[in-house]
């Protein structure tokens, strides 16, 4: 204790309280209570439980094959991670996937060559993302409600475009991306791994990556530090749109056809992956590594439940519960660790 604190004159002169700074946490503790560590532990745990449920499960090839359904959403979740770290949210990617895929299908049906039709789809993703970005950064509307509005709008436009019919008949080379293998690894998984590496590096070592964290931690401070907040956010929304249209094309290839209800309800899956990975819902914290691990956690859980014969509809319960529990847990972890 400090002597100034105890001195009797303290009652007449202003008290000077000297507090010792909290001792820094040991490094192992900091690492252990990181959300990514929790995700990794859960991943190991889930794998053990799932392989006890069925002997087929312990087969890496089986897991990789069954992952392709979730990997499409996981790819979008990588970009969504950046958006949430920057303090915004995008609930519209699933609808963007549907609309861009339906545009692709319509363009193909109209007789355009495949590369042009795919270009149309990517352009649509860019425009949709830019529209979200415009509403959020130029009109300064809250992204959370804006993207609910655009989610209904984009899905509705997909419905107008495709009606309740499915559009198919794509050429053979386009169909079945999930059956194209490199070794035992399906192509979509490779795309996911490559995108994770790329975005992980972007977020971790480029100046833009650091700026995204700064924007999410304190937007006002970021503006005063001369960071081009609007431009970066606009870029993130556009990236989200383009990635969604790529994911939409992958679904179209996997299913061999497109419908307006493609990826319906997938906003839950995407947000769930990001939250499971320990990204802080209020912005400023999170990592691509976490999202990467969480994607595999979700694949294991979902495949495990399917192997255990739990109906898809009942699985919704677990997914919803997981989302809520993971955001409570992440919140608790960040509230404990020093801000």
Partner 1 sequence: MNSIARLFRAREAGILVMLVLFVAVVGLIQPRFVSVDTLRIVLLAVPLILVAAMGQMMVLVSRNVDLSIGSILGFSAIAAGMIFRDHPEWPLSVGFAVGVLSGAALGFVNGLVVTVFRLPSIIVTLGTLSLYRGLLFILSGSKQIDPNDIPEPLIRMAQTSPIDIPWIVIIAFAVAFATWLFLTYTQVGRQIYAIGSNPAAAPLRGIRVMPVTILVFTLSGALAGLAGLIYAARFGYVNPGITGVGFEFTVIAAVVIGGVSINGGVGSVLGTVLGVLLLGSVQVALPILGVSGFWQNAIYGAIILIALVIDRTVRQGGLRGLLARGGA
Residue 175 Cβ, how far from partner 1 at the closest point, in Å? 26
State both tokens at 231.
């431009």
Q: Using CB under 8 A, which of the segments 156-164, 189-197, 240-248, 286-294 binds partner 1?
A: 156-164
- Tell me if 159 contacts partner 1 by CB under 8 A: yes
Strands 257-258 and 167-168: antiparallel
User: For partner 1, which residue of 85, 98, 102, 155 counts as binding (CB under 8 A)?
Assistant: 155
Residue with tokens 């999410």: 216
- Tell me if 130 contacts partner 1 by CB under 8 A: no
- Tell me if 149 contacts partner 1 by CB under 8 A: yes
Q: Which residues contact 201 (CB under 8 A, 6 or more apart)?
A: none
Looking at beta carbons only, is 47 or 147 nearer to partner 1?
A: 147
Q: Cα–Cα distance between 50 and 237 in angstroms, integer?
A: 36
Residue 283 Cβ, how far from partner 1 at the closest point, in Å? 11
State both tokens at 292.
């990467």
Q: Cα–Cα distance between 233 and 139 in angstroms, integer?
A: 13
Residue 318 Cβ, how far from partner 1 at the closest point, in Å? 7
Residue 235 Cβ, how far from partner 1 at the closest point, in Å? 14
Q: Using CB under 8 A, which of the segments 111-119, 194-202, 205-213, 316-324 binds partner 1?
A: 316-324
Q: Cα–Cα distance between 296 and 34 in angstroms, integer?
A: 18
User: For partner 1, which residue of 66, 77, 85, 233 counts as binding (CB under 8 A)?
Assistant: 233
Looking at beta carbons only, is 207 or 314 nearer to partner 1?
A: 314
DSSP state of 175: S
- Tell me if 138 contacts partner 1 by CB under 8 A: yes
User: For partner 1, which residue of 208, 230, 306, 333 counts as binding (CB under 8 A)?
Assistant: 230
- Tell me if 163 contacts partner 1 by CB under 8 A: yes
Contact 80, 241 (CB under 8 A): no
- Tell me if 140 contacts partner 1 by CB under 8 A: yes
Question: 28-63 b/e with 16+ CB inside 10 Å = b?
Answer: eeeeeebbbbbbbebbeebbeebbeebeebeeeeeb
User: For partner 1, which residue of 60, 110, 139, 205 counts as binding (CB under 8 A)?
Assistant: 139
- Tell me if 231 contacts partner 1 by CB under 8 A: no
State both tokens at 242.
């383009």
- Tell me if 40 contacts partner 1 by CB under 8 A: no
State both tokens at 25.
């946490």
User: For partner 1, which residue of 61, 113, 156, 169 counts as binding (CB under 8 A)?
Assistant: 156
The 3-state DSSP class for residue 167 equals strand
First to last CA, the chain: 26
Q: Cα–Cα distance between 315 and 69 in angstroms, integer?
A: 15
Burial group, residue 83, by CB count within 10 angstroms (0-12, 13-18, 19+): buried
Looking at beta carbons only, is 123 or 153 nearer to partner 1?
A: 153
Task: Give residues in contact with partner 1 (CB under 8 A).
Answer: 89, 91, 135, 137-142, 144-146, 148-157, 159-160, 163-164, 219, 223, 229-230, 233, 265, 267-268, 271-272, 275, 281-282, 311, 313-321, 323-324, 327-328, 331
């Amino acid at each position: 204790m400090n002597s100034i604190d105890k001195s009797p004159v303290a009652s007449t002169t202003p008290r000077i309280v000297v507090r010792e700074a909290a001792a820094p946490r040991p490094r192992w503790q900091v690492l252990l209570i990181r959300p990514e560590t929790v995700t990794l532990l859960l991943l190991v745990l889930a794998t053990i439980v799932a392989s006890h449920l069925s002997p087929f499960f312990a087969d890496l090839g089986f897991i990789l094959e069954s992952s392709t359904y979730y990997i499409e959403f996981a790819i979008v979740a990588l970009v969504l991670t950046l958006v949430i770290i920057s303090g915004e949210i995008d609930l519209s990617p699933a609808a963007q996937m549907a609309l861009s895929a339906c545009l692709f299908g319509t363009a193909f049906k109209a007789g355009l060559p495949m590369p042009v039709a795919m270009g149309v789809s990517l352009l649509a993703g860019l425009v949709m993302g830019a529209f979200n970005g415009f509403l959020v950064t130029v009109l300064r509307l809250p992204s959370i409600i804006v993207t609910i509005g655009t989610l209904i709008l984009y899905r509705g436009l997909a419905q107008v475009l495709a009606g309740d019919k499915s559009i198919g008949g794509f050429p053979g080379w386009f169909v079945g991306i999930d059956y194209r293998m490199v070794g035992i690894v399906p192509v979509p998984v490779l795309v996911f791994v490559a995108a994770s590496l790329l975005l992980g590096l972007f977020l971790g070592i480029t100046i833009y990556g650091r700026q995204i964290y700064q924007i999410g931690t304190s937007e006002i401070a970021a503006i005063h530090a001369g960071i081009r907040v609007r431009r970066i956010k606009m870029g993130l929304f556009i990236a989200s749109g383009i990635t969604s249209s790529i994911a939409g094309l992958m679904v179209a290839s996997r299913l061999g056809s497109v419908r307006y209800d493609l990826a319906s309800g997938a906003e839950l899956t995407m947000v769930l992956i990001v939250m499971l990975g320990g990204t802080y819902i209020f912005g400023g914290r999170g990592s691509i590594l976490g999202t990467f691990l969480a994607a595999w956690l979700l694949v294991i859980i979902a495949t495990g439940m399917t192997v255990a014969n739990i109906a898809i509809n009942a699985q919704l319960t677990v997914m919803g519960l997981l989302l809520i529990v993971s955001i409570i847990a992440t919140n608790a972890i960040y509230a404990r660790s020093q801000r």
